[in-house]
Amino acid sequence: MPKRILIVDDSATARSIIKRSLEICGFDDAEVLESGNGNEAMNVLKHEDVDIVFTDINMPYMNGEQLLKRIKSSPKLFDIPVVIITGMNNPAREKKLIAKHAAALLPKPLALPDLRKVLEDNLHVI
């Protein structure tokens, strides 16, 4: 059964790059859902089952940290792995996000071996 992946980023280009990276890592048959911010993502999550969420940290309306908090505060959504993708290099914030149950943090630009490892660890495939 194909995996369902939600990509959340206010940049359509960034979403496209993440989607292409997933395809290169062997998820070319995955159903990819997209949202431009955390509010849109929460609306998707109300109506759709997803296996993993990849989210940017800096977005309008609801940022990635707020989205992580909302997902992890919901008993229905808590088990969905949330991977933060960020261009920021802030070890203190990264530690805080992991403490808030982020499954992983990946730097921009995405490194395919790192992405593959996150997929293996969180979806138990590949």
Residue carrying structure tokens 């980023």: 9
Cβ proximity of 8 and 35 under 8 Å: yes
Residues 104/119, Cβ–Cβ less than 8 Å: no
E-state strands within the chain:
4-8, 31-35, 52-56, 82-86, 104-107
Per-residue pLDDT, 125? 65
pLDDT at 124: 78
- Give per-10-residue mean pLDDT for the chain (126 aa): 94 96 93 97 97 96 96 97 89 91 94 95 78
> What does the pLDDT read at residue 22?
96
pLDDT at position 116 is 95
User: How many helices, marked H, and strands, marked E, lie in the chain?
Assistant: 5, 5
The pTM (predicted TM-score) of the whole model is 0.95
What's the pLDDT score for residue 1?
Answer: 80
Does the domain at 4-120 match CATH 3.40.50.2300? Answer given as yes
